[in-house]
Structure 1
Amino acid sequence: MDFTSLNKSFINGKWIEGKSQRTFDNQNPYDGSIIQTIRLATLEQLEESFLIAKEAQKHWAKITAEDKKDVLKKVIEFFESNRNSIVDIISRETGGSVVKANVEVDLTVGLVKEALNMPDELNKVKEVPAGIENRVNRVHKLPLGVITSISPFNFPMNLSMRTIAPAIALGNSVVHKPDSQTALAGGTIIAKAFEYAGLPKGVFNCILTDLEEIGDAMLESPHSQLISFTGSTPVGKHIGKIAGSMLKRVALELGGNNPFILLKDGNVDQAVDAAIFGKFIHQGQICMSINRFIIHQNHYDKFVEKFVERVKDIPCGDPTDPKTIVGPLINEEQADKAMKIIDDAKEAGVKIALEGKREGNLITPFVFIDVENDSELAQTELFSPIATIIKADSDEHAIELANDTPFGLSSAIFTEDLTEGGQIALSIESGMTHINDQTVNDHPTVPFGGAKESGMGRFGNPWIVEEFTMTKWVSIQKEYRKYPF
């Protein structure tokens, strides 16, 4: 299927042309070719979408669990039957390798499959003890209502569907805005999947627009009960302020400065294997990507030598070539930002072990060594194929360095002592720690989320069920109650 014609917003079950006078060219970040041109939706169209979603949700909430599951099963069928076309779009639109694109489709399908377990949660009623005679206390889970979803460019389909699929499975409706740079993978292909599945109109609405058109209206709508956002910490803080003033819930997955720690008793060869994947998958443009390699001094020279040799052989170039691992960054602005980080580090005298190069938006890997943990380089979320390697004097020093950041999303520890490693994992100030693995891990049945400035809330079943539903207490007095006055 050719998805490139899906350049309209999806509102109330219809494909609607944006009413703005402005358009956006969705470009291939590798060669600059235009994939599609989008006429942007206006503030008026967005506000209409929230009203439509509010009304549609009232009906959708009453649909049986089996009917909700039937819709989700057809969504899975759509993704699986169109897999090759979707992989091609993800590679062309995000600059991600074929490996990355296939991983993203697998993650997306996995999310929807797990969402099949959620509609039944709305039918579960828990009875809790009552302190009053002849009373029954029942606890219900109800849909929240309308959920606002805002997704990023890096894993657009996966990071959109981890909000959308549970939200809809739990009886909510959704107003979703993908990043315009990945409008297909993050938005309209998803809308097409729900259209194919027969989702009632208005339950899912996908808006193709930008901040110049709508400002903060995605956040400020009085008809939305929760804002789900994946992106930068500064934007997350802005969302938190608005949501707090309106007493809205938030699910925020924000930036990271993820440490990869090789302890004194860790296996260097295994660590290098994991390090290559965790740093360079999707050019390091993942919130969970390894940002700092913290290596015990006993292994430092050996790790640097082996890591650099491996990095030299990473294939870089056209992401649609199955052999490519490192493709382009998403746009010229991000490539400029990465090169400024590199230039600033060089100017500051940071030692470089591998010099990469830039061709358009493609930046081949750079490796900096002997990096100071308090340097600007180490404290910056790199979001690019730039590796920074830091020497630790001891295991205790490594943990101290790992925690010396305002972020706390993911982390990794390499050690042969799994018992001690488990204890050390609990001392790392992050929402997720992986022992003898790298930092980029996700699954629909784990509590995915960060600590400190890396976010609030948890994705994954059953944690997302609590986030996306309202708990309601209903008491039943079976016999007349006598009151003291």
Structure 2
Amino acid sequence: MALLDEARWHDLLHIDGAWRAGSGETIDVIEPATGGVLGRVALATPDDVAAAATAAAQAQRDWAATSHAERAAVLRRAAALWAEHAEEIIWWNVREVGAIPGMAGFAVHVAEQECWEAATLPGRPYGELIPSGEPRLSMTRRYPVGVVGVVSPFNVPIILGIRSVAPALALGNAVLLKPDPRTAITGGLVLARVFQEAGLPDGLLQVLPGGRDVGEALVSDPRVPVISFTGSTEAGRRVGELAGRHLKRAHLELGGNSALVVLDDADVDQAVNLAAWGSFFHQGQICMTTGRHLVHERLYDDFVERLADKAGKLPVGDPARDQVALGPVIDAGQRDKIHNLVTASVGGDVRLASGGEYDRLFYRPTVLAGAGPGTPAFSQEIFGPVAPVASFGSLDEAVALAGDSEYGLSLGIVTRDAMRGVELADRIPTGIAHINDQTVNDEANAPFGGTGASGTGSRFGGAAANIEAFTDTRWITVRSQAPSFPF
């Protein structure tokens, strides 16, 4: 039977190891490219969150007591299942999200790698000996936090769910996963099926697609001490405020408006290739998307001309049926937001060099020349295939332009002098920097996170970040004899 056979999950929630009816409504899963219905999923309610949290808290105690070897084995089996069922999962991701096959394949590959990387966590040292001024053994020890709430978005649902789910489970926690209802199949149900087949005990991973009320119930539930949220900055602020009110940790990976800085010694063709990928890959629906192109004035005209020419030739269409570079954006609301930012930006010194048009949910890759800090599409996160281009004359001006944003997620710098690029990156606040590459990069063993409105720092990727995110530290001392006190 296929991993995602509809007979298992149609109109059902995954709670406490069982596929069962929830207390909310059911909705159609719509294919963005065609408007057709792919299936039906159940939506959770706050009552379902409470039931899932109760079951998760009970299951987690036994899971935390399981040997590190057994937990690692489950993660390794999950990694193998991503590879074994890659073709099937890619098919669903292309249809549900609108990803081109290459993007969907990359997401499945990263999910596999996230599980392999997470499988190393249970066997790592979970504490350290520390000095003490008393005659005693003094140490720190890491313990699982208990139940982790994971909220993932629509754009890259596989990666943005598994990068929290896998390490949290590996470290002895249970997980309540709330995927975006628009992409609940590959953002939630596929994770549940992979770990179910991998032998994860019941109750440790439960999937709760839903709206704002479900998210608020998850953040507010006293049995969920840690929230791992990926989404918009606006929503992240609400999550952070609610988590603070309930005195719980919230790891927030939010929006971005990342800059690609092209220095005066750069190869223009190489820069344009990087720029097109950074802005147009996955229809620009990635938090790390290159949202601002800063090009030295000596190369500016040539860069704009070549990028516009490249954008005009990129094929856009249904990724399940045609060989295209860009598929559809997720829905009409997202398309209209993109188009409104583009139309509001054109005028004065800002001109439309390419694109600015759409057919249904297929938005043409767009280049805006003459953009700058006062341009809406330059100053705001677009989350669409739009490349606003500005010029600069000096490195100080480039630093000022790149740093003139509330976001601080990713940065790309293109130059023939790599060390010059490193020195420039040191002057620009950002969570991630790539010299001679564009802004969209992801590896399971690398720390990931931004500053400012992009989130609360590197809380994903790499052993140190994951252990910090999903465990608590306890101080423990041991004496051979009890001390004597004066009263």
* TM-score grouping bracket, smaller chain normalisation: over 0.9
C-alpha distance in 2 between matches for 1:416 and 1:349? 30
The within-5 A match list for 1:28-427 is 28-121=31-124, 124-132=126-134, 134-211=135-212, 214=214, 216-321=216-321, 323-346=323-346, 350-427=350-427
C-alpha distance in 2 between matches for 1:455 and 1:209? 23
C-alpha distance in 2 between matches for 1:234 and 1:315? 33
| Deviation by residue 1:290-322 (Cα, 9 ceiling, x = unmatched) | 000000101101111221122122111011246
| Contact 2:307-2:367 within 8 A present in 1 as well | no
C-alpha distance in 2 between matches for 1:215 and 1:430? 28
Deviation, 1:374, is: 2.7
In structure 2, runs of 5+ residues without a counterpart are: none
C-alpha distance in 2 between matches for 1:347 and 1:419? 38
1:17 maps to which residue? 21
C-alpha distance in 2 between matches for 1:185 and 1:348? 43
* Letter of the 1:31 counterpart: T
* Letter of the 1:202 counterpart: G
Q: Which moved more, 1:1-10 or 1:445-454?
A: 1-10
C-alpha distance in 2 between matches for 1:131 and 1:197? 47
TM-score (norm 2): 0.96
Deviation, 1:484, is: 4.8
Q: Which moved more, 1:348-357 or 1:374-383?
A: 348-357
C-alpha distance in 2 between matches for 1:40 and 1:193? 20
* Letter of the 2:377 counterpart: L
| Contact 2:4-2:193 within 8 A present in 1 as well | no
C-alpha distance in 1 between matches for 2:346 and 2:390? 16
* Letter of the 2:250 counterpart: V
C-alpha distance in 2 between matches for 1:242 and 1:263? 43
- Describe the SS at the equivalent of 1:120: coil
Deviation, 1:237, is: 0.7
C-alpha distance in 2 between matches for 1:139 and 1:456? 25
Deviation, 1:375, is: 2.1
| Contact 2:342-2:356 within 8 A present in 1 as well | no
Q: Which moved more, 1:47-56 or 1:413-422?
A: 413-422
C-alpha distance in 2 between matches for 1:108 and 1:428? 31
- Describe the SS at the equivalent of 1:26: strand
Number of residue pairs the alignment of both structures matches: 481
| Contact 1:99-1:322 within 8 A present in 2 as well | no
Question: Closer, same or farther in 2 for the Cα pair 1:349/1:262, shift >3 Å?
Answer: closer
Q: Could you tell me the percent identity over the aligned residues? A: 35
Q: Which runs of 4+ in 1 moved over 6 A?
A: none
Task: Give me the CA root mean square deviation.
Answer: 1.5
C-alpha distance in 1 between matches for 2:5 and 2:356? 33
- Describe the SS at the equivalent of 2:426: helix
- Describe the SS at the equivalent of 2:294: strand
TM-score (norm 1): 0.96
| Contact 2:309-2:354 within 8 A present in 1 as well | no
C-alpha distance in 2 between matches for 1:171 and 1:87? 29
- Describe the SS at the equivalent of 2:320: coil
C-alpha distance in 1 between matches for 2:76 and 2:445? 18
C-alpha distance in 2 between matches for 1:273 and 1:349? 25
* Letter of the 2:56 counterpart: A
| Contact 2:14-2:207 within 8 A present in 1 as well | yes
C-alpha distance in 2 between matches for 1:209 and 1:285? 21
C-alpha distance in 1 between matches for 2:204 and 2:77? 16
| Contact 1:97-1:322 within 8 A present in 2 as well | no
